[in-house]
Structure 1
């Protein structure tokens, strides 16, 4: 029986040996695994962006899938490594907030700290725990190994506070958390923030520009228009129809976004 599905999400890029090295460990320990590259172009060290990407793939994968995620600016420090079970799937990652989106949307069933180095590679580099510790842990779970062999169960894990916007009297202040390949700016403002009024009754401000109303789809506006709309996962995003909002606004992850009612 094949061991199942493993996904990989990292900030490694594809130019060097890093992604290939992790895949080699996974294939050696769990032959026949179905491997899915989710994203290797997370902005380096941007944990918030990685958390957004992970949250966006959960409902697309079956129970039992193992998600290996490495955006790890604290590699080699005493920060913890975790195996988290959520939505019937596994998330193997550093404890730095990467699990925030998944936990927020789905809850967490259980968490184990990865401390059993007998399951890791014989030599562990202090700068590549993704290859030497996390990939072997993911392979262990793929083969049906009990999570208790990874280490002790725990109830503690870090959550990022800025994954959610800050409420104001009538709206909220958020930020861009992801810029996609089209230049669309996905914010941390979810559809539930719009529940108080019709979508056309909101104003979105970003990069010094004011957008009136949240539209349903790109095609409702003429090419070149700067619009706000709800993306496929329920996040408010800012886009230029047939264009690049990030370039137009000189904006990206971390840019402040205001959501205000139209009085």
Structure 2
């Protein structure tokens, strides 16, 4: 059965998500629609990229992912469809897709649709028709014209300067664990056997746990989560509330 996933910053209060699903099911009633998340922080490309990279490879290859986050941000941004790691993506060329993989897209096209210049709801007017075309033909060229490159973002990634690895909190999960954009491979490459100190808010630690139970209930722990990103948590507690930290707050790792 064909699968289409949805990732948006719409929330669930309004009928926007239902409108997308209705548009898909009206044309292809047998489609399996999976919600990755509709609670992306408004306009947040880093948050959306984290949620997508956490899960999209768990779907069968050939899955189509509609992404509507910050989709009408700039007039010069194109609406695009692309193939990354054997998965199809449809959305705005706002830099988000450059954060999903270390490898460049296998194929990219600019979506050609007469509504593109005037739409205020591109997810329904542009992305859904393109996704359905891909579903039917498994061919990106049926949706538009080839392009040689996509918008890339590098300033949203962690960076290293003067023995300090700088990152940000990009997601607060339902347990109020704080997930950063510092990944394990970057950490280990820079660390190179050196000692380190993780600084966040008013706290600091030189200990990395294997899991939440590496510390006693109520204690704070830093660890690399199942997606290999540095996470700050409190065992059986709410790190965001208790530490006074949240989305986009800075986290630093000092090496010495």
**Normalised TM-score (structure 1):** 0.90
Matching residue of 2:141: 148
Cα displacement (A) at 1:182 = 0.9
| Distance across 2 between alignment mates of 1:158 and 1:96 | 6
After alignment, is 108-117 or 71-80 more displaced?
Answer: 71-80
1:103–1:197: structure 2 CA closer, same or farther, 3 Å change rule? closer
| Distance across 2 between alignment mates of 1:180 and 1:210 | 21
Aligned pair 1:186/2:179, yes or no?
Answer: yes
Listed as ranges, the matches of 1:221-260 within 5 Å are 221-260=215-254
Asked if the contact 1:75–1:127 (Cα under 8 Å) also holds between the matched residues in 2, the reply is no
Cα displacement (A) at 1:116 = 3.1
Tell me, which stretches of 5 or more residues in structure 2 are unaligned?
A: none
Listed as ranges, the matches of 1:62-211 within 5 Å are 62-72=60-70, 74=72, 77-104=75-102, 106-117=103-114, 126-195=119-188, 196-197=191-192, 201-211=195-205
Task: Provide the alpha-carbon RMSD of the alignment.
Answer: 2.0
Asked if the contact 1:125–1:132 (Cα under 8 Å) also holds between the matched residues in 2, the reply is no
Asked if the contact 2:134–2:143 (Cα under 8 Å) also holds between the matched residues in 1, the reply is no
Asked if the contact 1:116–1:149 (Cα under 8 Å) also holds between the matched residues in 2, the reply is no
Tell me, which stretches of 5 or more residues in structure 1 are unaligned?
A: none
| Distance across 1 between alignment mates of 2:71 and 2:3 | 26
| Over 6 Å off, 4+ runs | none
**Normalised TM-score (structure 2):** 0.92
Cα displacement (A) at 1:54 = 1.1
Cα displacement (A) at 1:168 = 2.1
Matching residue of 2:57: 59
Instruction: Give the aligned length.
Output: 254
